Amino acid sequence: MAEEQQGEHAHIRCRAIIEVLGKPKEHVENAIKEYIEHIKQDSELVILNEEYSDAEEHGSLWSKFVEIELVVKGTKKLIAFCFEYMPSSLEILKPEHLVMTNPELSSFLNDLQARLHDVDMVVKKLKAENDFLRLNMNAILHNSILICLKVSRLSIEQISQITGVDKKEIEIFVEKMLKENKIKKEDELYTLA
């Protein structure tokens, strides 16, 4: 019969991959080692093996991961490990079967739901802040263009230079203002309508 252990008292052997993304490269390399040292301080987690990847560049950021093999004392601690250290993958090696009690499963599901609600709240808050910033940035840009054109007739390149906004982006904004009849274009120069 396959090996089976009660979840709360099981010693669970697993393999986890933990990644760090950031910059500069030295920070990423130090941060992942500090992260693993922090995990080693937990008396209910025993790291048996750790293998670090080389840091890789992804655009302006660097990433590095470590694959660790560890033993965790009980399903509750395994779940806490996943929430606290957020491995990008986890594979349970032993035991082959785990038994969870109803209270253990209920506790896990409630913790999961609480975390999901927290993440959802953060996402909604960030979206609201982003929408607020976008709305205000558009208003500032709109007013900046109007003020510039009140002083002088300007080309799209000049508007771009004065506002500090890329020419392609400012063209989109200026086209919208043309359609709204707030400005007009005469011989490649823009002026107030």
Domain spans of the chain, in order of start: 4-100, 130-192
Write the CB contacts of 70 (distance below 8 Å, at least 6 apart in sequence). 13, 14, 15, 16, 39, 45, 46, 47, 48
The answer on pLDDT for 2 being more than 50 is: no
Q: Give the mean model confidence (pLDDT) for residues 77-99.
A: 88
Exposed/middle/buried for 97, CB within 10 Å: 0-12, 13-18, 19+? exposed
Q: What pLDDT is recorded for position 80?
A: 86
CATH of 4-100, one of 2.30.30, 3.30.1370, 1.10.10, 3.30.70: 3.30.70
Look at the chain and count its residues. Answer: 193
Structure tokens at 146: 């109007």
Structure tokens at 150: 């009140």
pLDDT category, 9, cuts 50, 70, 90?
low
Q: What span, in angstroms and rounded, lies between the C-alpha atoms of 38 and 50?
A: 14
pLDDT category, 102, cuts 50, 70, 90?
confident
Coil/strand/helix, residue 36:
helix
Coil/strand/helix, residue 153:
coil
Q: Give the mean model confidence (pLDDT) for residues 35-46.
A: 90
The answer on pLDDT for 134 being more than 60 is: yes
Q: What pLDDT is recorded for position 89?
A: 92
User: In the chain, what percentage of residues exceed pLDDT 70?
Assistant: 95
- Alpha helices, H only, 86-166: 102-151, 156-163
Contact 5, 93 (CB under 8 A): no
DSSP secondary structure code for residue 154 in this structure: B
CATH of 130-192, one of 3.30.70, 1.10.287, 1.10.3860, 1.10.10: 1.10.10
Q: Which residue bears the tokens 């992804």?
A: 58
pTM attached to this predicted model:
0.62
Q: What is the 3-state secondary structure (H, E, C) of 60-105?
A: CEEEEEEEEEEEEECHHHHHHHHHHHCCCEEEEEECCEEECCHHHH
